[in-house]
Chains A and B, each alone.
Chain A
Amino acid sequence: MTAVASGATVRPAKRGWSFLAPTILPGFGTAFGFTLAYLCLIVLIPLGHMALRAADVGWDRFWAITLAPRVLHAFYVSFGCALAAALINAVFGLVVAWVLVRYRFPGRRLIDAMVDLPFALPTSVAGIALTAIYAPNGWIGALAKAAGFKIAFTPIGIVIALVFVGLPFIVRTVEPVLQDLDAEVEEAAASLGATRWQTFIKVLLPAILPALITGVALAFARGVGEYGSVIFIAGNIPAVSEIVPLLIVARLEQYDYAGATVIATAMMGVSFLMLLGINFLQRWTRSRHAR
C-alpha cells in the first residue's frame, strides 16, 4: 500500500431520481396536492383558458394574425430589447455588485439602496423620469440630438428603460455569490502566476456564472413583460418602437378581443420556450461548475 492513506470519503454516486424518494419531511402528499392546486388556480387555469380562446379563431387565422409584419416587428422589438438590456445589465450589474461587495467607500450604503429603487418605483414613474431626460428636449436627449441620433421614441430608449428596471435583478442575484467567494482562491491563482484578468476569467467567472445566468434570466423575463416604463419612452411608433404588450392593449382598445388573445398566446408561448431554454442552460452550467 502507498504511504498515504486515502481516507476514502468520496461522495456516493448520484441516486436515481424517484418520485417518492423517502424524505424526512412529513406530509408530502398534502403539500404536493396543495402546490398543484395552487399553481393551477393562479397560473395554469387563466393561461390555459386564454390559449383555448385563442384556439377558437382557428389555425389559419392564428398564424395570419401572429405573422402580420407589424406584430412580428413588435415581437422582434420586445424580445430583442429585453435580451439586449439583460446582456448590458449582465456586464454592468456585475460591475456594480463587484464594487458593492469588494470596496468600502463613503456613500456605499446610499448606492446600495439606490440599486433597489427600480424594484420599488411604480414603473410609470420610471417611464416619465427617463423620458424627461432622454427626449430630444431633455438634457441627455439634446446631447444625442446634437450628435445626430435619437434615444427616446426608438428601440434605444426601450433598451434604456429595460436596463433601468432590470439592474437590481442582476446585482441582487450576483451579490451573495460574490460575498461567498473565498479570497484565498484568488490568492492561490495569483501565487500560481495568473494575472488579475486570468484570475477573473478562469477562476471567478465560472464561480459566478450560474448566479449571473439566473440574474440575466430574471432581468430578461422582467424586460419582456415590462409595460409601464416602456410606453412613455418608446413613443410606440408601429414597426419601429412598438412592443408586444402595447400592441395587445391597442387591440383591446379596438375591441379586437380575438386578435389580442392570439397575440397574447403567442407571446406566452415564446416566453415559455425561452425560459425553458435558460433553465437548461442553468442546469448545464451548474452541473459543470458547482459540484
Chain B
Amino acid sequence: MAIEIRNVEKTFGAFTALGGVSLDVRSGELLALLGPSGSGKTTLLRIIAGLDHADAGEVSFDGQDTRDRAARDRKVGFVFQHYALFRHMTVFDNVAFGLRVKKKAERPAEMDIRRRVGQLLEMVQLSHLASRYPSQLSGGQRQRVALARALAIEPKVLLLDEPFGALDAKVRKDLRKWLRHLHDDMHITSIFVTHDQEEALELADRVVVMNHGQIIQVGTPAEVYDTPADSFVFDFLGGVNRLNGVIEGGVARLDGKAVRVDGEVGPNGPAVIYVRPHQVELDVAPGDGVPEGKWSARVSSLHAAGPVARLELDLAGRALEAQLSRDRLSDLALDVGSWCTVDFRHARVFPAKN
C-alpha cells in the first residue's frame, strides 16, 4: 500500500514537533526515518498509525484519506520501541491477540488461529517459547514477539519505532539482516525509525532524513550518502572531514588555494568544506615545494588493518582523515611522519554557522 503524507503539522503546546511534513511512501518499500532524537520521527509514525492526530495536513492510504479511520481500523502493524507486549499473556496469546479480537464474522476458527500463530512463531523462530511469558524472554526475543504480533493481523503497512534501539550490538546486526530478508519475502510497505545512520543506510530502500520536525532529504542510501542536501545531513551521516575555509567571490578557498567543489557555492564569508575520507587524494611530495593548487600534509597516524588503510593527516594544523587501498599506500610508501601532497576529488562547501 502506498502512503501519501501532505503538509502534516503537529504541535505539543508551544513546541512544533512536525512542521509541515510531506512524503510519499511507495508500495512495498522499506523506508527509514533517520534523524537525531527529538526530530519528530516517532510523532510522524504515530500519526500514520492513527495513534496521534495531526493538527493539520492529511495522510492517505492508496489515495484514501484516513482522517476518520481510528487506529484499530487502519490495519497498520505497529512495533513499539519498548515492545509493549501484554505481560500477563504468553507469547502465543500475545501473537494471537489481533486475531481473537476480530469481529465474530471475521474471526478465524480457534484451530485456524493456532495454525496461523504457529506459522508466525516459526517465522520469527520462537516456536519453542510459545508458552513463555514476556518477562522470561531476552530483548531480541521480545522484539520478535512484538513483530509476530503485529504481522498476525496481515497489516498493509508495518511501522517499527527504533526496532533495534534497545538491543546489544551483536543481536542488532543479526536482527537487522533478518528483518531485511523478512521484508524481501513479504513486501509489506514498511517504515522504520532509527537515529543510527549506519542502520538506515544498510537496511533501507530509501532514507528520509529529518531534523527539527522537518524532512531535510529523501533518497536512496547512495544518494543521501554521496550528495547530502546540506551541512546537517553531512554532519549527521558522519564519516566526513570538516575543514574551515572561506568563500570569496563564488570560490571556496582553503588556505588561500581554490577548492573545486560540487554544487552551489554560497555567499562570501567563512565556510566549511566537507570532504569524505575516500575522496582525499594523496601523492608523493615532490622535492621542490607544493604543486600548484594542492596542499601539503604530514601523516600523523596510520591504521592499515584490513583492505583499506586509514590515515590521519595534519594539514596546516587541521586533522584530516584519508582512506586509500593498501596497494596505493604501498605505492606511495607513506609512513608516520612523512609528508605528502593532498587534493580533493569531490568536496562540498556550505557557509559556516556562527
Residues of A within 8 A of B (CB): 2-11, 182, 184-185, 187-195, 198, 202-203, 206-207, 288-291
Contact across chains for B177 and A185 when beta carbons are under 8 A apart:
no
Residues of B within 8 A of A (CB-CB), count: 47
17 example contacts (A-B, Cβ-Cβ < 8 A) are as follows: A3-B177, A3-B181, A4-B125, A5-B174, A6-B125, A6-B138, A9-B138, A9-B139, A185-B85, A187-B71, A190-B71, A191-B77, A192-B97, A193-B73, A203-B86, A291-B88, A291-B136
Whether B175 and A191, one on each chain, are in contact in the complex, defined by CB atoms closer than 8 angstroms, is: no
Interface residues of B (CB under 8 A from A): 49-51, 70-78, 80, 82, 84-88, 97-98, 101-102, 125, 132-133, 135-141, 144, 149-150, 152-153, 167-168, 170-171, 174-175, 177-178, 181
Instruction: Please pick, from B72, B87, B102, B171, the residue contacting A5 in the complex, using a CB distance under 8 A.
Output: B171
User: How many Å lie between the Cα of A7 and that of B174 in the bound state?
Assistant: 11
The answer to whether A4 and B71 touch across the interface, beta carbons within 8 angstroms, is: no
Q: Which residues of B contact A290 (CB under 8 A)?
A: 87-88
Cα–Cα distance between A210 and B101 once the two chains are bound (Å): 24
B133 with A10: CB separation less than 8 A: no
Which of A4, A187, A195 gathers the greatest number of chain B CB atoms within 10 Å?
A4
Residues of the B chain whose Cβ atoms lie less than 8 Å from the Cβ of A2: 125
Write out the residue numbers on chain B whose beta carbons fall within 8 Å of the beta carbon of A185: 84-86
Residues of A within 8 A of B152 (CB): 192
Q: A3-B174, A5-B171 are in contact. Are A191 and B49 (CB under 8 A)?
A: yes
Check A4 against B144 for contact (C-beta < 8 Å): yes
Contacting residues, chain A, for B78 (C-beta < 8 A): 187-188, 191
CB of B157 to closest CB in A, whole Å: 11
Chain A residues contacting B138 (CB-CB under 8 Å) are 6-10
In the complex, the answer to whether B135 meets A4 with C-beta atoms within 8 Å is no
Please, which residues of chain A bring their CB within 8 A of the CB of B140? Answer: 4-7
Q: Which A residues are CB-close (under 8 A) to B137?
A: 10
B183 to chain A, nearest CB (A): 14
Q: How far is the CA of A2 from the CA of B175 in the complex (A)?
A: 11
Verify A7–B153 contact, CB threshold 8 A: no
Question: What's the Cα separation between A179 and B92 when bound, in Å?
Answer: 27
| Min distance, Cβ A204 to any Cβ of chain B, angstroms | 10
- A291 is contacted by which of B87, B101, B141, B174 (Cβ under 8 Å)? B87
Besides the contacts A192-B149, A198-B101, what 6 more A-B pairs have beta carbons closer than 8 Å?
A3-B125, A3-B181, A4-B140, A188-B78, A191-B74, A193-B98
